[in-house]
Chain A
């Protein structure tokens, strides 16, 4: 049962990594930018959830508003920062993105305080269920369900709808997609809206799970998400999902195995470096774009 618990735990964390990383991988696919500030959007979502939930008493309203606010923030980041930088080499936008992450995290610290915020009323993490001997709390169940629903919906959207197909076409080849009448600008906005809303949702769920948000919560997550999209082969959604769950599981088991001599967070990067040594193009990255 112990190992099943670890597996479950790994899958739950993996599903959160997946929600974070899908947005990143799509931004990379569209713009070839490592959108490091994505993690600040995630922390922003978490803060909005707590603030709205505490002000109105409704956690659901908090999550919905957090997703909307995160989507708008993501769109604004694209419009104000990335769009004018697309003419320069990609590292220019990447360093700007890193600056934005540092800036926003410090702004959170100044605005919301060093100590972070807690929910006034959040009964869910302590609602524990016992399913065939596996202990799991309400938020963890929500995480699994929500991420599965979101990822399946995203998959259906990109394969079954006209807009989604246009999106995928633009990711794989912007020039040809545009010549077939796809509005690349619209696709980019949609991409930032959806990806950022998912990051905000992940932030909200993590906030619920920990019953706590703090200014630097995005830092470590951002690099893990970067590691994941690199592992996934940069731009491949399937590879990103595989890498997310692999990392969740590796962290879950690895902490037991090597926790005595290595940090849990450092483990992710050990995994990243080992995989890149064997497959420099990542899990699913066949193309060298």
Chain B
């Protein structure tokens, strides 16, 4: 897992973009050395060569030089722009989420990481992932800020209460890597550590089989939707229902009372459950009660996963399916929703 040298100088590099971060790091070390050597050499040279030979001497004045000032303003500026651009490219790779990634849900809590796979496996402070597979983490926290940091993958992201943040990686080497909470979160912050276990595809499959009795997030979400929280009484009643039809809304645009609009995504769904009256869709009455305080973050993740599945978004790259959306139902889109409400 870690280098065996007496003084480890360099961390394991184990994700698809970690080499880019390393390359940027070495580029910057190169730049730094290239700046330091001439400046430090000049300082030493001047200090020795022009040391005081007569007390209170008055060496000839040199006022400065516009040419030099211009040169040594422009060169650092140009170099800093290359650093900026390099950083921007890497950042874009790190933080632009891939469409075809395996989904994992993460909930931070003082002082543990609760992780759930799409197949229903739950783990605490351990994340098992297959090698050479894109993995996207959807993360939130029950209490304070945390930060999901995997140094060997050269990435991290803060986990923020009240919203979702995302992280993705593609591990390239099987092994066990450090998982740290990198945002200070109180008493046992330094105990909020764990490991990311990268497994060969086959090993991962059999690891998954080992816990097959759990419900998947979609199944849990369906249970909450239909039974525990009673969402179905307004949202799954066919023509007579009072609430919005949820089939096939994911990724569509919705228009709000007042004129603004948004694209339906995880954040929007989450917010619609917690603060339904904050964004009333045109054609509906603001009658839905808030579910704030009645659902946990983990239940929210399951609910959002279920609602997404109604739009055929299984989010899993391997098994796209549309369990609940009846195929011959072209009227079930946002346009018809508005018409329905208008009647």
A binds B: no
